[in-house]
Structure 1
Amino acid sequence: MKFRTILIAAAALAAPIAAIAPAHADGGIFVGVNQGSIAVGGFDTVSYFQGDGVPVKGDARFTVQYMDAEWRFSSQANADAFKENPAAYAPQFGGHCAWAMSRGSLAPGDPQVYKLVDGKLYLNVNKQVQSMWLKDIPGFIAKANVAWKNIPTGQRFGD
């Protein structure tokens, strides 16, 4: 079973480049092909930081355009909070998987596989990868911060 988990993680990290649509180079927001230009799979990023921290889907009635992506929110109040300070609510590494980024790779973040750390939102590609990431969150974040700065702008998408 352990070998299968490793294979799943390797496959998850090997395939994502083909599944990524444009974002900005100055922090790039991952928007998957299946969601067009909708950021974070349509989830309300403010909702991660409220109440029990369980994200909710946004509603097309409450949208904000930010970094060439459409961000959806569950209420006008959440949309307004995001407009006031998008950096406070946007996921780190443009919504790419934090563990993959710690290894210098781009992989799509799953908006339902996440962790809030020191007031910041981090996504992982799947639960198997997240279980590895949880073993050394501070170490992986430090490595990912360095790797994110070193991703060539042409690979950060949307230059």
Structure 2
Amino acid sequence: MKRLLAVLTLVLGVGAHADGFKIGLGGYCPVGFVKAGKSVFGDPKFASEYEGTTFYNSSADAKKMFDKDPASFVGAIKYKGFCATGLAMSKKLESDPSIFSRIDGSIYFFSSKEAKTMFDKDPKKFIGQANAEWAKLQ
């Protein structure tokens, strides 16, 4: 069941509960990205709510860390999870949370392995371009 939920939320981008709340990061644990640099599926039994979005944490400890300072975890995710390479090319693309780079405490997601490979060749260039595009969208 957990696997099905994860697949559905990845396919749909940001999933939704029956009560209308959004599921952030495709069901992946935000603490895993920021603290461990790993994409780890969260568990609904360790759910946390922040700004109208539900985030699934991978453990009780991860939930405790997230709940203590959710803004720092959500704030580390750049461009609200859209593909960093896509933004640098003026395209707002959904990303796959299992494909990411962690640079200076920030998490950048990508729509494909190819997009990540492009980004990783010159992160400063892509971050600069993506930041400029993101500013236009705000």
Q: Which position in structure 2 is the counterpart of 1:146? A: 132
**Are 2:85 and 1:127 aligned?**
no
State the partner residue of 1:73.
Answer: 57
What is the alpha-carbon root mean square deviation over aligned residues? 1.8
Question: C-alpha displacement at 1:67, in angstroms?
Answer: 2.8
Deviation for aligned residue 1:40: 0.8
Structure number with the bigger relative contact order (C-alpha 8 A, sep ≥ 6) is 1
Q: Secondary structure at the match of 2:122?
A: helix
Q: SS where residue 71 of structure 1 aligns?
A: strand
CA distance in 2, matches of 1:85, 1:72: 15
- Between Structure 1 and Structure 2, how many residues are aligned? 120
Counterpart Cα distance in 1 of 2:125 and 2:104: 14
Correspondence for 2:41: 57
After TM superposition, give the deviation of residue 142 of structure 1 in Å.
1.4
The answer for unaligned runs of 5 or more in structure 2 is 1-11, 17-21
> What is the CA distance between 1:103 and its match in structure 2?
2.2
State whether residues 13 and 95 of structure 2, in contact with CA within 8 Å, keep that contact through their aligned partners in structure 1.
no
Q: Which runs of 4+ in 1 moved over 3 A?
A: none
Q: How does 1:18-37 map to 2 (within 5 A)?
A: 32=13, 35-36=15-16, 37=22
Are the counterparts in 1 of residues 90 and 133 from structure 2 also a CA contact under 8 Å? yes
Q: Name the TM-score, length of structure 1 as normaliser.
A: 0.68
Paired residues for 1:80-99 under 5 Å: 80-90=64-74, 91-99=77-85
Letter in 2 for 1:105: K
Partner deviation per Cα, 1:56-103 (whole Å, 9 max, x = no partner): 110101111123221000112212222233333221100100111112
**Which amino acid in structure 1 is aligned with residue 133 of structure 2?**
A
Amino acid at match of 2:102: L
Q: 1:85 to 1:142 in 2, by over 3 A?
A: farther
SS of the residue corresponding to residue 61 of structure 1 reads: helix
TM-score, scaled to structure 2: 0.78
1:101–1:86 Cα change, 3 Å: farther
- Which of 77-86 and 36-45 deviates more? 77-86
Percent same amino acid among aligned pairs? 28
